[in-house]
Amino acid sequence: MSTIAAANRAELLAIADSVAREKSIDRLIVIEAMEDALQRGAKARYGQENDIRAKIDPKSGDMRLWRVLEVVEEPENLFTQVSPADAQKLQPGAVVGDFIVDPLPPIEFGRIQAMAAKQTILQKVRDAERDRQYEEFKDRVGEIITGVVKRVEFGHIVVDLGRAEGIIRRDQQIPRETPRIGDRIRSYIKDVRREARGPQIFLSRAAPEFMKKLFAQEVPEIYDGVITIQACARDPGSRAKIGVISRDSSIDPVGACVGMKGSRVQAVVQELAGEKIDIIPWSPDVPTFVVNALQPAEVSKVLIDEEEGRIEVVVPDDQLSLAIGRRGQNVRLASQLTGKQIDIMTEADESERRQREFTERTALFEKELDVDETLAQLLVAEGFTELDEVAFIDPAELAAIEGFDDELAAELQNRAGEAIERREAGLREERRALGVSDELLTIEGLTEAMLVALGKAGIKTLDDLGDLASDELIARENRNKGITEGILRGFRLSEADANRIIMAARAHWFKEEQA
């Protein structure tokens, strides 16, 4: 760049063309960078206080320098203002308020000025190149791209993408895969960010979306939208599960993804360093999909707790290890695939639990309703689990149980009501002993039992409750961590219920602000 002053017009334009081609940026941007360098050099020569402009004709290469002056009655700044009389020498007819041009002679760059001009041009070109890279890749998020491994830095792989560089972070690589410098590598464009040091293109080979895109490349039916991958879960480099569905009933989605003699799925497996892939039919029916997701294990029964977001799966005793998988891999992937927390138990465990629950409920009814074991067992066998269910059921339904009559039904409901009152009284005393404020009882939806649970957690006033977030109050499902504990987890509150309770506790804050 130090030859700018001496270069003839053709050479100047040739330099601009060469830089534009090399950096893949607009030729006019390079010329603007040269103009900026000339402008800075001229200010260094004539003074930074001057308003100096530079222009290079993009066709002819002509260079012009000039100073802009404002015509004022009484100039205060001689560098940027000029009187009407002096303005006539530069531009006849100029009047107050006009801006006139004072041509300047071309400048000769010394070594220091040439270095400064070179840095200015390089910086402008670098900024333009970064903008070009960002604009080129920002709309390509979600695509698969092929590049060449350029270097490895602190475990992160830097990939040459041709006109930019991408990075595969350590957590986005396939474990035990060790690409060497110069290897061609395919990856998924996960994110593109504009940062101070230039656009950052984040690539991934571990993302589930990478597998989806690979299948779209290998399976024409997926590319055409006939088959859809509804869910995907991966343990990168080890095992994966994908749930597929076909919009055409005549096409088997699993068979299409596997291909003739496994050719299609094997192409994906080879790209993913031997990762084993289970292809299963997706179903909108959650129990059916869970059964499919746990393949190759056999499932006896699926129990769904929608409020807690949990699914309990019962398997034969000899299928337990297969259902769980090595280090819990099979059930973990099935959980990710379905978006539900899955608990595995054997038929023996489930039978034992059912017997334990039957015994506990029988004992509850025996004690609280003051009935014999046979009658208590009959209530449990009919599906009653809580005193509230006995107390508030339609008496006709209770009397319709074989061996019951209207008089017995009425007596059981009276006893259930009295037992509930005793329980509430006990909870009230416990709540007061914990120091929980009576003000919390004014919030709709909170019971004495809930207040006791809050008191044990140190939540005793409206302010204490108002300071909570909904996920501190109730259980919340996390795709990776399962169910998080909440203070009122056992009371089956929804997130909407939790938010309503918390906002009710905060209501007095707003009243105080308005006052």
Domain ranges of the chain: 9-134, 141-204, 226-282, 285-385, 434-514
For the structural domain made of 9-134, what CATH number should be given?
Answer: 3.30.1480.10
What lies within 8 Å, CB to CB, of 333 at 6+ separation is 233, 234, 235, 239, 240, 241, 278, 293, 325
CATH for 141-204, options being 1.20.1260.10, 2.60.40.420, 3.40.50.620, 2.40.50.140: 2.40.50.140
140: pLDDT strictly greater than 80: yes
Lowest mean pLDDT among 59-68, 269-278, 470-479, 488-497: 470-479
Length of the chain: 515
Given this structure, which CATH class describes domain 285-385?
A: alpha beta
pLDDT at 23: 67
C-alpha distances (whole Å) from 474 to each of 143, 386, 469, 470, 477 are: 39, 22, 9, 6, 10
Task: With beta carbons less than 8 A apart as the criterion, state whether 247 and 225 touch.
Answer: yes
Task: Give residue 154's identity as a one-letter amino acid code.
Answer: F
Residue with tokens 């149980």: 401
Q: pLDDT tens digits for 18-41? A: 777 776 767 777 777 777 777 877
Locate 328 and state its tokens. 């819990």
The pLDDT, as a whole number, for residue 114 is 54
Host H or E run for residue 156:
strand 156-160
Ranges assigned E (strand) in 36-131: 52-56, 63-71, 81-82, 99-104
The type of residue at 343 is D
Q: Half-sphere exposure (CA, 13 Å, Cβ side) for 84? A: 7
In Å, how far from its chain's centre is CA 393?
Answer: 46
**Comparing 99-103, 239-243, 276-280, 501-505, which segment has the lowest mean pLDDT?**
99-103
The tokens for 85 are 């009389």
In terms of Cα–Cα distance, which of 202, 210, 285, 274 is closest to 242? 210
Give me the DSSP letters along 266-306: HHHHHHTTT-EEEEEE--SSHHHHHHHHTTTS--SEEEEET
Rounded Cα gap, residues 309 and 340, in angstroms: 6
* The one-letter amino acid at 369: L
Question: Do residues 172 and 206 lie in contact, with contact meaning Cβ atoms separated by under 8 Å?
Answer: yes
In 3D, which of 207, 215, 265, 257 has the Cα closest to residue 237? 207
Structure confidence at residue 481 (pLDDT): 44
Burial of 41: CB neighbours in 10 Å, binned 0-12, 13-18, 19+: buried
DSSP reduced 3-state for 121 = helix
- The pLDDT score that the predictor gives to residue 424 is 86
Q: In sequence order, what are the beta bridge partners of 341?
A: 310
Mean pLDDT across the stretch 372-394?
A: 86
Omega before residue 253 within 30° of 0, cis = no
Structure tokens at 10: 């053709």
* d(C-alpha 343, C-alpha 173), whole Å: 30
pLDDT single digits (tens) 444-490: 888 888 888 888 888 888 888 888 888 788 765 444 444 456 788 77
Q: Do domains 226-282 and 285-385 have the same CATH topology?
A: yes
Mean of the per-residue pLDDT values of the chain: 83
Residue pair 129/29 in contact by the 8 Å Cβ criterion: no
CATH C-level class of 226-282: alpha beta
pLDDT value at position 182? 92
Q: Which CATH class is domain 434-514?
A: mainly alpha
Helices (H) and strands (E) in the chain, counts: 20, 17
- What integer pLDDT is reported at residue 483 of this predicted model? 46
